[in-house]
Amino acid sequence: MIIMEEALMINWGYVIILFILGFFVYWRKSLDLLGSLTMIIMGIVIIFSAGVNWLILIVLFLIMSLLATKYAKPYKNSIGEYEGRRTAKNVISNGLIAFLMAAFGGYYLPFVGGFLGSIATATADTLASEIGVLQDPVLLTTFKKVPPGTDGGISFLGTAVGIVGAGIIGFCAYMLGIMPDPYVSIKIAIISGTVGCFMDSLLGAVFERRDYLNNEHVNLLATLTGAIVGILCVL
């Protein structure tokens, strides 16, 4: 009983830290108010359902994505590709699948792979988009050169950075005790992150460019793809 009470006290301590983090990203204009509140609510559920180590992995994705967004800001502004403050729609489209995987990960082991796959995809896609814009891309479906920031565009630089980002997520998942084997963790993250990232580009090239889907729809479907691949890697 005492141990349970101590665990609850520790978890509530993490909740306080989460509120501080939410205020910080809002103050830094990385997320708007609703986006920050959405992040906090999802984080609280993850803390009490899966554990703070799962939340830390999401925070690592958030840190990498914010750093990548701020990188080369003047150049991105000059070509109209600086996204700036993100909204609740961004939080949900990139984090909903990971949130669901974490909420039920303790009840069904393959969801651990799904969680890792969705975070790896969100990381790979964000880094590929934010860093890949520095290199002239080609359209995935035709391999013809397109302007930076074009939906469905891919570049060697963006792809390489995305794969590295996914690998970092895999290694951190092992270090946080989410996955027991470092090789398996990194392998799942790289495979699922790469597949999910290319799915994002494919959906962008085929559907988003024609306004059948918007960016949030594409991100959600891409992270779902990454989660499915992660689950299959665990089975």
Q: How confident is the model at residue 3 (pLDDT cuts 50, 70, 90)?
A: very low
Q: How far is CA 149 from CA 124, 128, 134, 205, 228, in A?
A: 16, 11, 9, 12, 27
Q: Is position 48 within any domain? A: no
Residue 48 has pLDDT above 90, yes or no: no
Residue 14 lies in a domain: no
d(CA 118, CA 116): 6
Average pLDDT over residues 152-171: 97
pTM of the shown model: 0.93
Average pLDDT on 19-31 reads: 89
- % of the chain exceeding 70 in pLDDT: 95
Q: Please, which contacts does 172-176 make with residues 24 or more away whose CB atoms are closer than 8 Å? A: 172/57, 172/60, 173/57, 173/116, 173/119, 176/53, 176/54, 176/56, 176/57
**How many CA atoms, within 13 angstroms, populate the side-chain half-sphere of residue 136?**
4
Instruction: Find all residues with CB under 8 Å of 150, minimum gap 6, and list them.
Output: 137, 139, 209
Q: Report the alpha-carbon distance of residue 189 to residue 114 in Å, rounded.
A: 10
Contact 57, 94 (CB under 8 A): no
Is residue 25 one of the residues assigned to a domain? Answer: no
Q: How confident is the model at residue 2 (pLDDT cuts 50, 70, 90)?
A: very low
Tell me what the pLDDT averaged over the chain comes to: 91
Q: Give the mean model confidence (pLDDT) for residues 153-165.
A: 97
Residue 6, in any domain of the structure:
no
Let me know if residue 112 belongs to a domain.
yes
- Contact status, residue 96 vs residue 122, Cβ threshold 8 Å: no
CA torsion angle 48 54 55 57 (round to 10): 180
Who's near 225: CB < 8 A, 6+ residues apart? 121, 195, 196, 199
What SS3 state is found at 107? coil
- In a domain, residue 203? The reply is yes
> 223 near 121, Cβ under 8 Å?
yes
Number of domains in the chain: 1
User: Is 92 domain-assigned?
Assistant: yes
Asked if residue 177 belongs to a domain, the reply is: yes
Provide the pLDDT for residue 86.
Answer: 85
CA-based radius of gyration for the chain:
17
Query: What residues make up the domain containing 191?
Result: 53-234
Check residue 29 and give its pLDDT: 84
